[in-house]
Amino acid sequence: MGFFGIFGRVIVEGTSMQPTYNPLDWLLVHYGFLGKKYLFLRLGDVVVVERETQPGIFYVKRIVEISIDNGGTKSYYVLSDNEAGTDSRKWGFLSEAEIIGNIITRIKKN
């Protein structure tokens, strides 16, 4: 199965995802399909997060837990690769709407 949909890039700021990603690395992001957000997320995926309480601020984090309630609603626990990063240890679980993209690969290494 190939990748379809909307792609973009993010540039890493800060050190929260070191050693995996470093400041100024460029990452290819898959944002979903044809105006609808259909992301197939799994444990271990690195994702772009836009928290409801911080619109316009984007974080790169790794999914370490997926919770599904009785109604089928998913929520995600995300962590930084660097323990000093801010993540679900402070925020708690994130709603599915707060996961806006899935990192595909690094396209330029700093």
Which whole number is the average pLDDT over 57-85? 94
Q: Which two structure tokens, joined as six digits, stand for 79? A: 């962590």
- 42 is written with which tokens? 């799994």
Domain 6-108, CATH among 2.10.109.10, 3.40.50.800, 3.30.750.80, 1.10.579.10: 2.10.109.10
Quote the pLDDT of residue 36. Answer: 56
User: Tell me, what's the pLDDT at 39?
Assistant: 79
Closest CA to 30 of 72, 54, 64, 1: 1
More confident residue, 98 or 33: 98
Please compute the mean of the pLDDT values over residues 12-27 and round it to a whole number.
95
Mean pLDDT over the full length of the chain = 90
Query: Does residue 39 sit in helix, strand or coil?
Result: coil
Q: Please answer whether residues 38 and 32 qualify as being in contact, where contact means their C-beta atoms are separated by less than 8 angstroms.
A: yes
Residue 94 or 110, more confident = 94
